[in-house]
Structure 1
Amino acid sequence: MFLIVGTMIGAGYASGRELWQFFGHDSSLAILLFTVMFIICCLSIMSISFKQQSGDYLSVLRTIVGKHLTGVYDWMIIIYLFTTTVVMLAGSGATWEAFHLSYRLGVLAIAIPLILLFVWDIKGIVTVNSLVLPLLITGLLFILIVFISDQNLSLFSHVTETDNWKAAFPFTALNVLPLIAVLGAIGNRMTSRKEVWVASVGSGLILGVVSFLYNNSLIQISDEILVYEIPLFAILQHYPYGMMVFMSIMMWIAIFTTAASGTLGLVTRFRSYWKQPLWIVAFAVVALMLPFTSFGFSTLIEYLYPLYGLLNLYVLSSLLIYPLTQRFKIS
Structure 2
Amino acid sequence: MFRAGMKNMFLITGAVMGAGYASGREIWQFFGAGSGLAIVLFTILFTICTTTILKISYRLSSTNYLPILHQLTGKRIAAIYDYMILIYLFCVTVVMIAGSGATFETIGMPFWWGIIFIFIGLIIIFSKGIGELLNVNQVLMPMLIIALFFILVLFIKDDSVSLVMDWDNHTNWMAAFPFTALNILPLIAVLGAVGNRIKSNGEIYITSISSGLILGIITLLYNSSLLHIGAEAELPPIPLFAIINNYNAVVMVIMMVMLWIAIYTTAAATLLGMVTRINKKYEMPLIKIVIISLFIMVPFSGIGFSQLVAFLYPLYGILNLYILVKLIIYPIYNKT
Question: Given the two structures, how large is their TM-score scaled by the length of structure 2?
Answer: 0.95
Q: Is 1:213 matched up with 2:209? A: no
In the superposition, relative to structure 1, how do residues 153 and 199 fare at CA in structure 2: closer, same or farther (>3 Å)?
A: same
> Counterpart in 2 of 1:278?
286
Deviations 1:22-65 (A, max 9, x none): 00111010001100000010011000000000111111111011
Which residue of 1 is the match for residue 163 of structure 2?
Answer: 155
Pairwise CA distance, 1:326: 2.0
By how many angstroms is 1:108 displaced?
1.4
Distance in 2 separating the partners of 1:149 and 1:224: 17
Cα distance change, pair 149–227 in 1 and its aligned pair in 2 (3 A): closer
Q: Is the 8 A contact 1:46 1:196 kept in 2?
A: yes
Question: 1:172-219, CA deviations, whole angstroms, 9 ceiling, x for partnerless residues?
Answer: 001101110110111111111111111011100000000000000000
RMSD: 1.2
Give the equivalent residue in structure 1 for 2:121. 113
Which has the larger displacement, 304-313 or 217-226? 217-226
Moved more, 198-207 or 215-224: 215-224
Secondary structure of 1:131's counterpart equals helix
CA 1:225–1:246 in structure 2 vs 1: closer, same or farther (change >3 Å)?
A: farther
How many angstroms apart in 2 are the aligned matches of 1:225 and 1:90? 26
Aligned to 1:35: 43
Contact 1:95 1:106 in 2 (8 A): yes
* 1:55 and 2:66 aligned: no
Query: Which one-letter code corresponds to 1:216 in the other structure?
Result: S
Question: Structure 1's 241 and 224: CA in aligned 2 closer, same or farther, altered over 3 A?
Answer: farther
Matched, 1:104 2:115: no
Moved over 2 A (4+): 157-161, 223-227, 272-277
Residue in structure 2 matched with residue 322 of structure 1 by the alignment: 330
Alpha-carbon contact 1:116-1:279 (below 8 Å) kept: no
CA contact (8 A) 2:100 2:114 kept: yes
What does residue 88 of structure 2 align with? 80
Deviates more, 1:290-299 or 1:157-166: 157-166
Structure 2 SS opposite 1:156: coil
CA drift at 1:223: 5.2
2:254 is the alignment partner of 1:246: yes
- Pairing of 1:1-331 with structure 2 (within 5 A): 1-156=9-164, 158=166, 160-222=168-230, 226=234, 228-328=236-336
For these two proteins, the number of residue pairs brought into alignment is 328
- Displacement of 1:277: 2.6
Q: Is the Cα–Cα contact under 8 Å of residues 90 and 297 in structure 1 kept in the other structure?
A: yes
Change (3 A) 1:232 1:195: same
**Compared CA separation, residues 67 and 135, structure 1 to 2 (3 A):** same
Contact 1:118 / 1:279 at 8 angstroms: preserved in 2?
A: yes
Contact 1:6–1:129 (8 Å) recurs in 2: yes
Partner residue of 2:3? none
- TM-superposed CA distance for 1:115, in Å, is 1.4
CA distance in 2, matches of 1:223, 1:320: 36
Instruction: Name the TM-score, length of structure 1 as normaliser.
Output: 0.97
SS in 2 for 1:155: coil
Task: State the 1:121 CA deviation.
Answer: 1.4
Instruction: Go from structure 1 to structure 2 and tell me whether the alpha carbon gap of 1:127 and 1:69 turns closer, same or farther (over 3 Å shift).
Output: same
Q: Structure 1: where are the runs of 5+ without partners? A: none
Residues 227 and 218 of structure 1: CA distance in aligned 2, closer, same or farther (over 3 Å)? closer
Residue 117 of structure 1 contacts residue 279 of structure 1 at CA under 8 Å; is this kept in 2?
no
Unaligned runs of 5+ in 2: 1-8
SS in structure 1 of the partner of residue 91 of structure 2? helix
d(CA) in 1 for partners of 2:266 and 2:235? 26
Deviation larger for 65-74 or 226-235: 226-235
Q: Determine helix, strand or coil for the equivalent of 2:280.
A: coil
